[in-house]
Amino acid sequence: MVAMRSNAKLILFVLIILSIVMGGYQGFLYTEELGLSQALYMVWGFVFLVLLVLWVDSDSKAFPSIYKPFEYGFLVFVFYIPYLPYYLIKTRGVVVGISYLLGFVLLFNIGFILQWLIYWAS
Residue 3: pLDDT over 90: no
pLDDT, one tens digit per residue, over 59-85 is: 998 888 888 888 998 999 999 999 999
Cα Dmax for the chain: 52
What confidence tier does 96 reach under pLDDT thresholds 50, 70, 90? very high
What is the model's pLDDT at position 91? Answer: 94
What is the span of the domain harbouring residue 15? Answer: 2-121
Query: What is the percentage of the chain residues whose pLDDT exceeds 90?
Result: 83
Burial of 22 (0-12, 13-18, 19+ CB in 10 A): buried
Burial of 41 (0-12, 13-18, 19+ CB in 10 A): middle
What is the model's pLDDT at position 75? Answer: 93
> How many CA atoms does the CB half-sphere of 26 hold within 13 Å?
24
How many structural domains are present in the chain? 1
Q: What is the pTM of this model?
A: 0.89
104 SS3 class: helix
